[in-house]
Amino acid sequence: MLKVLQFLPVILWFITYKMTSNLILSTAVIVVACVIATAVEYAMTKQLSRMQIFLVAAVLLFGLPTVLLNDPSIIKWKVTVVNFLFAATIFVFQFILKKNPFAFLFEKELPLPQEAYNTLSVWWMVFFVAAGLLNIVIAFYLPALIGVTEVEAEEIWVDYKTFGNAILNGIFALICGFVLLKKYPDIIKNIEK
């Protein structure tokens, strides 16, 4: 139930955009839906995950100015900023604080050598930067690059924001998993223990 509740704002955003082709209206819908979903989640569980707080803050930070200033380009920056924040967080934990974020999150469930966790950190940091840059290209440069209209470019960006970015994350996670399994075949045995 909670997972459906967490995805509902994005679904409503996507449906609203597809029905109206109005990014401002769609953004207003996701802002309101996120606030309601978060309130309902808190009422049900009496707590909020850090990720939920981060996501609501990002939606409010980019959504409210988009609606209030009637500027759809603001919401288009959200994907890039979030990806860059993830990359920066990994960098700070890995290289400044000297605490691997992946080891911190998954060490108990996924016993890997520290070298593997360090490699994962670098891979994901690079991936998040690349994903942020890809969003900039799709959000702002498609008409010049592939000769589509501004309206067509916006539709492509909405599809990318809704599905493409998540699919890229999933594919990259699978690639990381396969590479780690190939390099550290004992992972499966260690997980089963």
Q: Tell me the average confidence (pLDDT) per consecutive run of 10 residues in the chain, 193 residues long.
A: 81 96 96 93 87 88 96 95 95 94 83 88 97 97 95 96 94 93 74 54
- Integer angstrom CA distances of residue 103 from 23, 56, 176: 39, 26, 15
The pLDDT of residue 172? 97
Both tokens of 2, joined, read 């909670």
Give yes or no for a contact between 37 and 43, defined as CB atoms under 8 angstroms apart: no
How crowded is the C-beta side of 180, counted as CA atoms within 13 Å?
21
Give yes or no for a contact between 52 and 34, defined as CB atoms under 8 angstroms apart: no
Strand, coil or helix: what is 48? coil
State the helix-helix crossing angle for 23-45 and 2-20, rounded to 10 degrees: 170
Give the per-residue SS3 of 92-139.
HHHHHCCCCHHHHHHCCCCCCCHHHHHHHHHHHHHHHHHHHHHHHHHH
Give yes or no for a contact between 96 and 121, defined as CB atoms under 8 angstroms apart: no
How crowded is the C-beta side of 50, counted as CA atoms within 13 Å?
0
Q: Which helix (H) or strand (E) holds 9?
A: helix 2-20
38-61 core/surface letters (b: 16 or more CB in 10 A; e: else): beebeeeeeeeeeebeebbebbee
The pLDDT of residue 75? 95
Sequence ranges of the domains in the chain: 1-69, 71-193
Identity (one letter) of the amino acid at 98?
K
Write the DSSP symbol of residue 140.
I
pTM of the model: 0.86
The pLDDT of residue 111? 79
CA–CA dist 59, 66 (Å, integer): 10
The pLDDT of residue 191? 56
CA–CA dist 93, 104 (Å, integer): 10
Strand, coil or helix: what is 148? coil
